[in-house]
Structure 1
């Protein structure tokens, strides 16, 4: 897993040639609404 950031921490996981990859975003306020367009 690769992690970047201090206030908002973004962690990427998975394999480039695997079945799936994903991301975990820590530090977002509770209840914040995000859409695909935000990324």
Structure 2
């Protein structure tokens, strides 16, 4: 199990991958430079 966790933590991720950054009903907005509630309409 420790080896599996080590492998996961040392994997090199593709920095060009555009993963959505979400956290508990919020998302990170680069335009405002911070976290914004998902309840706010765009």
Task: Check whether TM > 0.5.
Answer: no
Larger RCO (CA within 8 A; separation ≥ 6): 1
TM-score range normalised by the length of the shorter chain:
under 0.3
Higher Cα Rg, which structure = 2
Structure 1 length-normalised TM:
0.22
**Which structure: greater strand fraction?**
1
